[in-house]
């Protein structure tokens, strides 16, 4: 295992061999990956150094001081936060070698084909079918929805039903889908913000090689749980400085615009500031737990707090600004590459935050997960657990 001194030495060797000022950005990122400095806790040869996750900060600080380019993690967040840890755990050696490097470098964008019009909160009820062809490939037909970045993606992580005669959680398999297949159709979904960062995706006769299956046939739900737990951590557990995230713009407005202040808003701001700080520090503790293993159901609690705080803080900001808070300077149909919560108007933040309690698992579902898997409360009765999917009412 590599220690901090070894990583620091390796980082300096990278900078000497590939000076950021004169090296092409993509070439530098590839060299960083090959040097094991992309995600240091990953295995050697796959962008890592078999080092503790906590030592990533040592590498990042040295590279930042040298002006080294980053891989724009917000743009490729689905690949980094969801696809990569799933491929690392369940992928074959060939899959890891093929997908992890271009994913981390940002040459290939990923999206997530999970939710469906009839299977959102109850994701295991999905109806997209994958049928095995005579040549061993899989032929997929169905519809997915709320797919971020599908209009940009080269690859997708996909779950589909491979055996409708089994109970809903057991008849699912997990695949890597080529978004350039002629059977893939992406249509934009216009949101309340006027943007179309989400999409619906129609799959018609899409052929997926069996070599692009992750995990065993029928093990898709188990594989998907790894993705979902990592997704919730990536949404709600991002590392932030004090007053990072949504609380920052409100606090700055409060300090810079004393004419807007009222006693009632002051008390609410103080309460939300403290709660945002508690959530931030809790996120630090969660990342310390991640050093010892993979994310657990605790990530659902972080995502719950993230959604609630974003909605309450953005609501306070609109009230603080009064009529000015209703302004929204770029109300147009856009196809953004990423969501920008803090670099936009207060009106945008207020509208966009409404989706936080839906994306990455609805708050209602996450409350059940926290209750059952974190607090150990009695499991909610489920009458369809042992019923074949094909016999369920839909």
The residues near 267 (Cβ < 8 Å, ≥ 6 apart) are none
Instruction: Tell me the two tokens of residue 207.
Output: 């052929």
CA distance 168 to 127: 10
Opening angle at CA 107, ends 29 and 220, nearest 5: 115
Instruction: Tell me the two tokens of residue 113.
Output: 């084909």
CA distance 86 to 213: 12
Task: Output the CATH code of domain 79-98+108-218.
Answer: 2.40.110.10
Long-range Cβ contact pairs of 253-259 (< 8 A, separation 24 or more) = 253/317, 253/320, 253/321, 254/320
Q: What pLDDT shows up at residue 290?
A: 60
Q: What pLDDT shows up at residue 240?
A: 76
Q: What pLDDT shows up at residue 338?
A: 63
CA distance 176 to 178: 7
CA distances from 287 to 238, 239, 334, 375 (A): 9, 9, 34, 20
CA dihedral for 383, 387, 391, 394, sign (positive or negative): positive
CA distance 315 to 18: 47
Task: Output the CATH code of domain 237-374.
Answer: 1.20.140.10
For the chain, the structural domain boundaries read: 7-65, 79-98+108-218, 237-374
**10-residue stretch averages of pLDDT, the chain, 394 residues long:** 89 97 97 97 95 91 96 91 95 97 97 92 93 96 94 97 96 98 95 87 98 97 89 64 89 94 94 94 73 64 88 95 85 66 83 86 84 86 85 83
The answer to whether 114 touches 362, Cβ cutoff 8 Å, is no
Q: What pLDDT shows up at residue 236?
A: 52
The residues near 324 (Cβ < 8 Å, ≥ 6 apart) are 346
CA distance 349 to 254: 17
Q: Decide if 259 is catalytic.
A: no
Q: What pLDDT shows up at residue 139?
A: 98
Report the SS3 class of residue 389.
helix
Instruction: Tell me the two tokens of residue 204.
Output: 């018609």
pTM flag (> 0.85): yes
Q: What pLDDT shows up at residue 191?
A: 85
pLDDT tens for each residue of 298-338: 677 788 888 999 999 999 999 999 999 988 776 666 676 66
Continuous H helices in the chain: 4-17, 25-34, 56-65, 77-78, 84-90, 93-105, 220-236, 247-256, 263-290, 298-321, 346-352, 363-369
- Annotated active-site residue in 116, 195, 197, 231: 231
pLDDT tens for each residue of 258-274: 999 999 999 999 999 99
pLDDT tens for each residue of 35-49: 999 999 999 999 999
């Amino acid at each position: 295992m590599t220690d901090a001194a070894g990583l620091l030495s390796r980082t300096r060797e990278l900078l000497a061999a590939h000076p950021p000022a004169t090296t092409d950005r993509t070439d530098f990122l590839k060299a960083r990956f090959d040097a094991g400095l992309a995600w240091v806790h990953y295995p050697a040869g796959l962008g890592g150094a078999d080092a503790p996750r906590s030592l990533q900060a040592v590498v990042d600080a040295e590279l930042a001081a040298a002006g080294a380019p980053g891989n724009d993690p917000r743009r490729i967040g689905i690949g980094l936060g969801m696809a990569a840890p799933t491929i690392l755990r369940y992928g074959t050696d060939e899959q890891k070698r093929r997908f992890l490097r271009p994913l981390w470098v940002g040459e290939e964008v990923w999206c997530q084909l999970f939710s469906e019009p009839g299977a959102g909160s109850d994701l295991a009820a999905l109806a997209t079918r994958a049928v095995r062809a005579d040549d061993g490939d899989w032929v997929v037909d169905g519809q997915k929805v709320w797919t971020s970045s599908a209009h940009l993606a080269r690859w997708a992580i996909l779950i589909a039903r491979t055996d409708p005669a089994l109970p809903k959680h057991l008849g699912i398999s997990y695949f890597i889908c080529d978004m350039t297949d002629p059977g893939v159709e992406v249509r934009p979904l216009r949101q309340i913000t006027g943007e179309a960062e989400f999409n619906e995706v129609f799959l018609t006769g899409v052929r997926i090689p069996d070599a692009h299956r992750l995990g065993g046939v029928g093990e898709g739900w188990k594989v998907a749980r790894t993705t979902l737990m990592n997704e919730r951590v990536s949404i709600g557990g991002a590392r932030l400085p004090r007053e990072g995230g949504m609380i920052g713009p409100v606090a700055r407005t409060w300090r810079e615009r004393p004419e807007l202040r009222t006693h009632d808003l002051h008390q609410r701001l103080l309460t939300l500031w403290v709660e945002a700080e508690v959530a931030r520090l809790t996120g630090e503790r969660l990342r310390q737990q991640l050093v010892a293993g993979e994310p657990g159901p605790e990530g659902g609690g972080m995502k719950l707090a993230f959604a609630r705080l974003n909605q309450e803080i953005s609501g306070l900001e609109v009230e603080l600004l009064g009529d000015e808070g209703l302004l929204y300077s770029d109300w147009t149909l856009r196809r953004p590459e990423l969501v920008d919560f803090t670099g936009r108007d207060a009106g945008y933040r207020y509208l966009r935050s409404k989706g936080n309690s839906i994306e990455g698992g609805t708050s209602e579902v996450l409350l059940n997960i926290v209750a059952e898997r974190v607090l150990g409360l009695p499991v909610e009765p489920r009458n369809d657990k042992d019923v074949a999917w094909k016999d369920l009412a839909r």
